C-alpha cells in the first residue's frame, strides 16, 4: 500500500525532489524516482582546482584580474547549466547562487587576505551577492543564457535560489539587480531564525521558499554543523543525534520545529519546501511531513527512504480520510 500510495500524487503529500549538482547525478536521481531537482549548489561546481583558482581570483582579485576570471567562470558555468537543464527537461530545476562560507574556497594566502572570525555567520550567500553584485550577475547571466539557448521542449522549469536571505529589502535589491527574466522563478532559502520570522514578507516577494535545515538548526542550537561530531555530543544529548551521524535530530529541537511551523503558517500561497539533509532521514521526515511542506529535496541516498515515507504518509491519509492518520502538526 505504501508503494502504491507513493504513486498517488493527487493525494496530499509533498513533491519529492533531489539535491544534485551534476548532469550525471541528476540522471541518477530522476532514475531513482525524483520528480525534479530542488537544489543544485553552484559552489560545488567550482571546487575543481581549475575553477577554484578562478573563483579565488574573482572573490579576492589582484589588480585587474577579477574581470577576466568572471568572464571565464561565466562561460564554464553556462556550459554546466546547459547540461543540468538538458538532463532535467520538462521538470523542476532549482539552481542556487553561490553560498560560501568563504573559508571553503580560500587557501592560506587568501585566508590572510579575507579574515572572517566566523565565516559561517559572515559574508555568506546573498550577503556576498549584495556586496559583490558582479559575482551574482555573472552567475545569473550564465544560468539564464543556458536556459534560453535550449529549445523550449528541452528546457527545465527553472528556478534560481538565493541563499542566506534575511530581509525583504535584500531580496528586492537582488531581484532588481539580477534582472530575472519572466518565466524563471526566484526563490529564497530560509535558513536563519530571523528569516523564518520574516516568512510572511519574504513570501510576498519570492516565488518559492526553501528551508535549509542544516543551517537553521545550527543557528537554533548554537552548535556548529562543521564541528559537532557524534562522539563530542555529551551523553545527555544522545537522543538528539542521528545514530552514526554527526547530525542533530531536528525533530528534537523545539525552536527549529517551531520555526518550521512559522514558515508553514506564514508562507501563504507561496510554495515552501525543505532541502536540508534532515529530510533524507526517515525518522525526521515523519515529523517534517506532518508540517505539510509542498516539496522536500534530498540527496540521492535519501530518495528511496523519502519515497517510502511519503507513501506511508499518503497511505495514512487513504486509510484515515479525516486526517486522523497523520500525526498532528
Ligand atoms: C541547508 O542549510 O540546509 C542547506 C541546504 O544549505 P547548505 O548547502 O548550506 O547545506
Tens digits of residue pLDDT in 69-90: 899 999 999 999 999 999 999 9
Q: Residue with the nearest Cα to atom 1 of ligand 1?
A: 212
Give bridge partners of residue 300 from the DSSP assignment.
none
Q: Which atom of ligand 1 is nearest to the CA of 43?
A: 8
Q: Give the model's confidence band at 9: pLDDT under 50 very low, under 70 low, under 90 confident, else very high.
A: low
Position in ligand 1 atom list of the atom nearest CA 216: 2
Whole-number Å distance, alpha carbon 163 to ligand 1 midpoint, is 9
Give me 219's grid cell: 543557528
pLDDT band at residue 243 using 50, 70 and 90 as cut-offs: low
What does the pLDDT average to over 280-297? 95
Q: What is the pLDDT of residue 51?
A: 82
Mean pLDDT of 220-246: 65
For residue 252, the model assigns a pLDDT of 86
Task: Report the pLDDT value the prediction gives residue 239, as an integer from 0 to 100.
Answer: 64
Q: Ligand 1 atom closest to Cα of 163?
A: 6
What is the 124 CA–ligand 1 centroid distance (Å)? 12
Nearest-5° angle of CA 214, CA 218, CA 221? Answer: 140
Q: What is the pLDDT of residue 322?
A: 56
52 pLDDT band, cuts 50/70/90, is confident
Q: Is the pLDDT of residue 48 over 70?
A: yes
**321 forms bridges with which residues in the sheet?**
none
Q: Distance between CA 249 and CA 135 in Å, rounded?
A: 35
Q: Can you give the pLDDT at residue 119?
A: 83
CB count, 10 Å around CB of 226?
12
Phi, psi (degrees; rounded to nearest 5) at 328: -60, 135
- Does the pLDDT of residue 33 top 70, yes or no? yes
Q: What angle do CA 143, 95, 117 make, to 5 degrees?
A: 110
Please give the backbone phi and psi of residue 208, each rounded to the nearest 5 degrees, phi first: -160, 160
CA angle 310, 316, 322 (to 5 degrees): 125
C-alpha cell at 171: 531580496
Which of 37, 38, 41 is the pocket-test mutation for ligand 1 (most atoms within 8 Å of CB)?
Answer: 41
Confidence at residue 277, expressed as pLDDT on a 0 to 100 scale: 87
The mean per-residue pLDDT over the stretch 190-195 comes to: 98
Check pLDDT > 60 for residue 303: yes
Buried b (16+ CB within 10 A) or exposed e, 177-186: ebebeeebbb
For range 127-136, the mean pLDDT = 94
% of the chain residues with pLDDT over 70: 83
Q: How far is the CA of 192 from the centre of ligand 1 (A)?
A: 11
Read off the pLDDT of each residue in 187-197 and give the average, rounded to a whole number: 98
Rounded Cα distance, 212 and 259, in Å? 12
- Helix H, strand E, coil C: the string for the chain is CHHHHHHCCCCCCCEEEEECCCHHHHHHHHHCCCCEEEEEEHHHHHCCHHHHHHHHHHHCCCCCHHHHHHHHHHHHHHHHHHHHHHHCCCCEEEEECCCCCHHHCCCHHHHHHCCCCCHHHCCCHHHHHHHCHHHHHHHHHHHHHHHHHCCHHHCCEEEEEECCCCCHHHHHHHHHHHCCCCCCEEEEEECCHHHHHCHHHHHHHCCEEEECHHHHHHHHHCCCCCCCCHHHCCHHHHHHECCCCCCECHHHCHHHHHHHHHHHHHCCCCCEEECCHHHHCHHHHHHHHCCCCCEEEECHHHHHHHHHHHHHHHHHHHHCCCCCCCCCC
Give the model's pLDDT for residue 266.
98
ipTM above 0.95, yes or no: yes
pLDDT band at 60 (very low <50, low <70, confident <90, very high): confident
Per the model's pLDDT, the better-predicted residue between 104 and 42 turns out to be 42
Among 214, 248, 293, residue to substitute to test ligand 1 (most atoms within 8 Å of Cβ): 214
Q: Residue 108 pLDDT > 70, yes or no?
A: no
Kindly tell me if the per-residue pLDDT of 323 is higher than 60.
Answer: no
Centroid of ligand 1 to alpha carbon of 162 (angstroms)? 12
Q: Is the pLDDT confidence value at 111 over 70?
A: no
Q: Is the pLDDT of residue 179 over 50?
A: yes
User: Across residues 265-269, what is the average pLDDT?
Assistant: 98
Spatial CB neighbours of 321, under 8 Å, sequence gap ≥ 6: none
Residue 173, pLDDT > 60, answer yes
Q: How far is the CA of 49 from the centre of ligand 1 (A)?
A: 23
Flag whether pLDDT at 329 surpasses 50: no
The pLDDT, as a whole number, for residue 325 is 46
Going from the C-alpha of 51 to that of each of 56, 62, 70, 116, 129, the distances in angstroms are 9, 17, 11, 22, 19
pLDDT tops 80 at residue 326: no
pTM to 2 decimal places:
0.91
Task: Report yes or no: 118 and 184 within 8 Å, Cβ to Cβ.
Answer: no
CA of 324 to the centre of ligand 1 (A): 33
More confident residue, 37 or 53: 37
Name the CA radius of gyration of the chain, rounded. 20
Mean pLDDT over 196-200 rounds to 98
Residue 53, C-alpha cell as written in the block: 583558482
Burial label for 294, CB within 10 Å (0-12, 13-18, 19+), is middle
So what's the pLDDT on residue 112? Answer: 46
pLDDT at res. 307: 94
Amino acid at each position: 500500500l505504501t508503494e502504491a500510495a507513493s504513486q498517488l500524487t493527487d493525494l496530499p503529500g509533498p513533491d519529492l525532489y533531489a539535491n544534485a549538482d551534476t548532469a550525471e547525478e541528476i540522471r541518477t536521481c530522476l532514475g531513482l524516482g525524483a520528480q525534479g531537482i530542488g537544489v543544485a549548489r553552484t559552489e560545488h561546481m567550482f571546487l575543481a582546482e581549475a575553477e577554484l583558482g578562478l573563483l579565488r581570483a574573482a572573490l579576492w582579485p589582484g589588480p585587474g584580474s577579477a574581470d577576466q576570471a568572471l568572464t571565464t567562470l561565466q562561460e564554464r558555468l553556462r556550459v554546466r547549466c546547459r547540461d543540468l537543464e538538458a538532463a532535467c527537461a520538462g521538470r523542476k530545476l532549482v539552481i542556487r547562487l553561490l553560498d560560501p562560507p568563504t573559508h571553503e574556497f580560500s587557501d592560506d594566502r587568501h585566508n590572510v587576505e579575507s579574515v572572517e572570525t566566523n565565516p559561517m555567520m559572515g559574508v555568506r550567500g546573498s550577503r556576498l551577492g549584495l556586496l559583490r553584485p558582479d559575482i551574482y550577475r555573472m552567475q545569473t547571466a550564465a544560468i539564464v543564457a543556458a536556459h534560453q539557448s535550449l529549445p523550449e521542449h528541452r528546457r527545465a522549469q527553472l528556478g534560481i535560489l538565493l541563499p542566506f536571505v534575511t530581509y525583504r529589502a535584500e531580496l528586492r535589491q537582488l531581484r532588481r539587480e539580477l534582472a530575472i527574466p519572466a518565466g524563471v522563478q526566484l526563490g529564497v532559502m530560509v535558513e536563519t531564525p530571523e528569516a523564518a520570522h520574516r516568512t510572511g514578507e519574504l513570501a510576498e516577494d519570492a516565488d518559492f521558499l526553501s528551508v535549509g535545515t542544516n543551517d537553521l538548526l545550527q543557528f537554533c542550537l548554537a552548535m556548529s554543523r562543521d564541528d559537532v561530531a557524534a562522539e563530542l555530543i555529551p551523553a545527555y544529548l544522545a537522543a538528539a543525534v542521528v545514530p552514526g551521524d554527526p547530525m542533530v535530530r531536528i525533530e528534537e529541537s523545539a525552536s527549529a520545529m517551531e520555526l518550521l511551523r512559522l514558515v508553514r503558517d506564514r508562507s501563504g500561497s507561496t510554495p515552501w519546501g525543505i532541502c536540508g539533509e534532515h529530510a533524507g532521514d526517515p525518522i525526521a521526515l515523519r515529523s517534517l511531513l506532518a508540517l505539510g511542506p509542498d516539496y522536500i529535496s534530498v540527496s540521492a541516498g535519501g530518495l528511496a527512504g523519502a519515497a517510502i515515507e511519503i507513501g506511508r504518509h499518503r497511505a495514512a491519509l487513504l486509510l484515515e480520510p479525516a486526517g486522523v492518520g497523520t500525526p498532528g502538526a
